[in-house]
Structure 1
Amino acid sequence: MEFAKKNIYQLFIITSWVVLIPIIAYLSAQDVKYTMLLIGLAVGLTVAGVSILNYRAGYYITCVVALTVRVLERMSGSEMPVGVLIDAVVLITLLGSLLKPDDKSIRKVDFLRDPVLITFYIYAGFILLQFFNPAYVHDRHGWSTFARVYVRNMIMLYLVMKMIRNMDDLKVFIKFWIIILTLAAFYACIQQWFGLMPFEKAFIARYPEKFKTVIILTGIRIFSFVSDPAVFGVIMACGCIMNIVLLTSSNKMVPVHQKVLLLISLVLQFMALGYSGTRTAYVMVPMGLVIMLFVNLHNKNTVIGALVFVFAFLVVMFGPFHSNPTIIRIRTAFSGSEDASLNVREVNRHRIQPYIYSHPIGGGFLSCEPGSGSELDGFPPDSGYLRTVLEQGYIGLILVCFNIFLVMQYTVANYFRSKTETEKQYTLLIICVMFAMVVSIYAQESSGLIESALLYYGLNGISIKLKYLSSPNITT
């Protein structure tokens, strides 16, 4: 049966390309626009077929599309419905997962009584109630956009829960993210060393509002092939933490040749992190490593790694480097009182407090966006938590914080429930990355951006699923 399915899958792919390639070749001579349209159609049909027949591959394809689609947008020179494209791939992948009930472990998950899942359900109900928020003045476009993104995130969370059946699946998940983040870091280094590509410069010139934070006093903030420097810095910090945690593993778990590759990846990601100019991300790395040190203090490799990191940090902070813009930017992240932009954020937060106290359900989703027509129109929250309390009120903030608390509780419980080194290191990696992302939400909207949300909700799904996978049933 499995052999027949594999043959059908291969036949579908081959037939699609055999039929479409001559059509594309013929129309290529007619009009360039038709050629691009047909190439997109061919690729789209192939992706759809793969996602339906193999939802695991569909998930990773979705992540690749979400992380790289901005390059196509910049190359085309015009805005693209990126969110709609990603939603389409997500829905097709969901369909594939429903048509292939091969994961028996998903039946162990108590979808009706699991505390974390219940908080997601309650929050979904709160989103539905927000539709009737009287603060909406003109339309409810913000509500529909936020609700669509939330549904997408929940689907991705479910897909990850269904994908992760054992430690081998988790290893593939982590390996994928390390590889894709390393590629992003490598491209960022090329941008820094050789300058932005011509099509990227042209796109910035055409849509300066999309890149208003790219040009700063210390130079250009690098964004690689993702949407903007802020989210790029956040995912680079997550990648650095992943690499560092795995480097502290024993040689039995991670052989020396793999550690060399991880070290190369770490160096590239650290450089890219610096080039991004994202101060929040600079803080994320030590936050994640502090948790690693506390949880894994008995590990000799962890202590050695912590000492090396502290030494490197002191060199960056107090070394004789006074003209390098990247190092200057890093230093300002840890001397906030001396930085004007950080002081402005504090002033804005104090100024908006009366509004927070008088609006228990907030001003409505995306009411802080320019052009919303609300009282918050154009207000810069510069924080995921502040945006939440402004747009959803302190009721919404309480729901979000309680959900985060339960998820973090799951990650810690999973670690102490682990028996083997493989389980402990992977669950430790999840703890460190999740904690760093939770901290980053204070100064950045980490969980709301497409690229970082994929990782954040993916780790949420893994934390929930690992609770139901007892150690004897986990393949190491």
Structure 2
Amino acid sequence: MFASKKNIVRLLMMVLWVLLIPVLTYVASLDLKIGVALVVGIVGIAVSLVCVINYKLGFYIFITISLILPLLERISGSTQSIGVVMDGLLLSTLLGCILRRGDDSIKKVQFMKDALLISFYLYIILLIIEIANPAGHRVFAWFIFFRVIARNMIFLGLGLHVFNNMKDVRTFFKFWIAICTAAAFYACLQQWFGLMPYEKAFIAKYPKMFTTTMIISGIRIFSFMSDAASFGIIMACNIIICLILLTAKMANLNLKRKIWLIISILLQALALGYSGTRTGYVMLPVGLLLFLLATLRNRNTILIAIAFGFAALVILFGPFHSNGTIIRIRTAFLGKQDASMDVRDVNRHSIQPYIYNHPLGGGVMTTGGNGLLFYPGHPLANLQTDNGYLRAVLETGWLGILLVAANFFLLIAMAIRNYFRIDGEVNKLLMLGIAASMLEMALAQYAQDASTLVESSIMLNALTAIAIKVKYLYALNTQS
């Protein structure tokens, strides 16, 4: 009886989809925009239902769609409400998690005792206090900023329910490496064959969105992500993770997987070079240094270090003087301080008196273009910080920058402790990859507001969730 009812429901759904085809075709013939909107709406509702039914799958759907939304925006030829789409998917996934009551392993996390989680709570409390900051207290601007923070915290909470064992962790890294490799391959196609027609049309239509993409040596490649800076940061972190995994013994990581890792590393290294992200170039040796310090006795580690060092010497000092990508890489390590760096230093020195006189900062969303939009006339309006730490101290004061730095320190320390306490070579290397990539991210904060970019914040919060769950399930030996 139950099976027959199930078959009837399936039949009705099939009939509904068949009837929708001529209906949508007729509506589109009357008004194309309405037809497209209906199709997008139907697909969106279907995807949201999937997220509700299976919140673990919804977690990965959210990541995938968030990463490719800029590409879909360029294909459409107009700016879209990307934040609304992300919020809808995330809330649908959260609803699915609530309805299924998550996973019991979450009970092992000490939410009120963990130092990293407490630092998050303190930062949220600070942001709530900032709504009453006399130097910048517009509720609408505060709400926009807090909405992003809330989105990140919800995503982090979902991650604590998704990663319930090391199999889940390895599944995520396979997925993450695969999607980043796809992004790298797409970036290489952009460099080798030029941007797609719809990308050129979008840049021509919205040139202000790509002011940092056009440089003297050419176009900074951005793949299907929002901009070249966030793309380059993601590539730099992922390269180190792949290099670390490459040092595993053959018994733990077979030859076939290592070949795929090598292909992924090559594609991502090329993509990083094409992105023109000098911050990403500097991130690589920093992440590798932490890796070397932790595994210096490993023969494979020494081989990786030698290969990396040789490649670096060839790029920096080889007879390549006409390649724009190599020249930009060299300027990150050997070049003289350029005009953009001079402007940044002038901005930092000129704003120091304001930092000393405003212990709570000037209020969230008061710096850069956001300040010009929401707080015209504010002393920080249109001040381009180009530095996540500087933005934190300018907008949220000394406590803000201390909490941002504490978050990175506690996360890296947790990942390193997990590396020394967990069993299994691949598991240990994954924890070390988290530590090294987060150290890179902490460095990137000095030159970019790296942790608040959409793509990098997804990576940051996913790896944070993994580090926390591994700590309580494995590193503390609390697994039953």
Whether 1:404 and 2:408 are equivalent positions in the alignment is yes
Structure 2 residue aligned with 1:430: 434
CA 1:181–1:17: 2 relative to 1, 3 Å: farther
Q: How does 1:100-139 map to 2 (within 5 A)?
A: 100-136=100-136, 139=138
Task: Tell me the distance in 1 between the aligned counterparts of 2:307 and 2:289.
Answer: 13
CA shift at 1:369, angstroms? 2.8
Deviates most, 185-194 or 463-472: 463-472
Structure 2 residue aligned with 1:179: 178
CA shift at 1:8, angstroms? 12
Structure 2 residue aligned with 1:276: 275
Structure 1 residue aligned with 2:260: 261
The 8 Å contact of residues 291 and 432 in structure 2, kept in 1 or not, is answered as: yes
CA 1:23–1:445: 2 relative to 1, 3 Å: same
Whether 1:60 and 2:60 are equivalent positions in the alignment is yes
The 8 Å contact of residues 133 and 361 in structure 1, kept in 2 or not, is answered as: yes
Structure 1 residue aligned with 2:387: 383
Whether 1:417 and 2:416 are equivalent positions in the alignment is no
TM-score w.r.t. the length of structure 1 is 0.94
The 8 Å contact of residues 244 and 266 in structure 1, kept in 2 or not, is answered as: yes
The 8 Å contact of residues 106 and 161 in structure 1, kept in 2 or not, is answered as: yes
Structure 2 residue aligned with 1:467: 471
Task: Tell me the distance in 2 between the aligned counterparts of 1:120 and 1:414.
Answer: 20
CA shift at 1:470, angstroms? 2.3
Whether 1:30 and 2:26 are equivalent positions in the alignment is no
The 8 Å contact of residues 73 and 80 in structure 2, kept in 1 or not, is answered as: yes
CA shift at 1:403, angstroms? 2.2
Letter in 1 for 2:261: L
Letter in 2 for 1:457: N
Secondary structure at the aligned position of 2:362 is classed as coil
Deviates most, 463-472 or 387-396: 463-472
Deviates most, 325-334 or 22-31: 22-31
Task: Tell me the distance in 2 between the aligned counterparts of 1:13 and 1:300.
Answer: 59
Letter in 1 for 2:316: M
The 8 Å contact of residues 243 and 266 in structure 1, kept in 2 or not, is answered as: yes
The 8 Å contact of residues 337 and 343 in structure 1, kept in 2 or not, is answered as: no
1:346-373 deviation per Cα after TM superposition (whole angstroms, max 9, x unaligned): 2221121111111111111111133232
Please point out which of 452, 459, 462 is paired with 1:455.
Answer: 459
The 8 Å contact of residues 367 and 382 in structure 2, kept in 1 or not, is answered as: yes
1:111-134 deviation per Cα after TM superposition (whole angstroms, max 9, x unaligned): 222221111111111111100011
Deviates most, 121-130 or 394-403: 394-403
The 8 Å contact of residues 472 and 479 in structure 2, kept in 1 or not, is answered as: no
Structure 1 residue aligned with 2:161: 162
Structure 2 residue aligned with 1:220: 219
1:85-133 deviation per Cα after TM superposition (whole angstroms, max 9, x unaligned): 1011111111111111352111111122222111111111111110001
Letter in 2 for 1:123: Y
Letter in 2 for 1:292: F
List runs of 5+ in structure 2 lacking aligned partners.
none
Task: Tell me the distance in 1 between the aligned counterparts of 2:387 and 2:258.
Answer: 35
Task: Tell me the distance in 2 between the aligned counterparts of 1:277 and 1:200.
Answer: 18
CA 1:201–1:330: 2 relative to 1, 3 Å: same
The 8 Å contact of residues 13 and 46 in structure 1, kept in 2 or not, is answered as: no
Structure 2 residue aligned with 1:97: 97
CA shift at 1:202, angstroms? 1.5
> Identity of aligned pairs, percent?
48
List runs of 5+ in structure 1 lacking aligned partners.
none
Letter in 2 for 1:466: V
CA shift at 1:250, angstroms? 1.2
Letter in 2 for 1:162: H
1:38-95 deviation per Cα after TM superposition (whole angstroms, max 9, x unaligned): 2211210111111001111111111111111111211222211111110111111111
CA 1:332–1:10: 2 relative to 1, 3 Å: farther
Whether 1:440 and 2:444 are equivalent positions in the alignment is yes
Letter in 2 for 1:449: L
Secondary structure at the aligned position of 1:227 is classed as coil
1:130-186 deviation per Cα after TM superposition (whole angstroms, max 9, x unaligned): 00011127x333211110000000011111111111111001111111111111111
Whether 1:339 and 2:343 are equivalent positions in the alignment is no
The 8 Å contact of residues 450 and 456 in structure 2, kept in 1 or not, is answered as: yes
Secondary structure at the aligned position of 1:443 is classed as coil
TM-score w.r.t. the length of structure 2 is 0.93
The 8 Å contact of residues 51 and 57 in structure 2, kept in 1 or not, is answered as: yes
CA 1:166–1:473: 2 relative to 1, 3 Å: farther
CA 1:100–1:336: 2 relative to 1, 3 Å: farther
The 8 Å contact of residues 167 and 423 in structure 1, kept in 2 or not, is answered as: yes
What is the Cα-based RMSD across aligned positions, in Å?
A: 2.3
Structure 2 residue aligned with 1:209: 208
Letter in 2 for 1:217: I
CA shift at 1:25, angstroms? 3.5
Task: Tell me the distance in 1 between the aligned counterparts of 2:97 and 2:267.
Answer: 35
Secondary structure at the aligned position of 1:363 is classed as coil
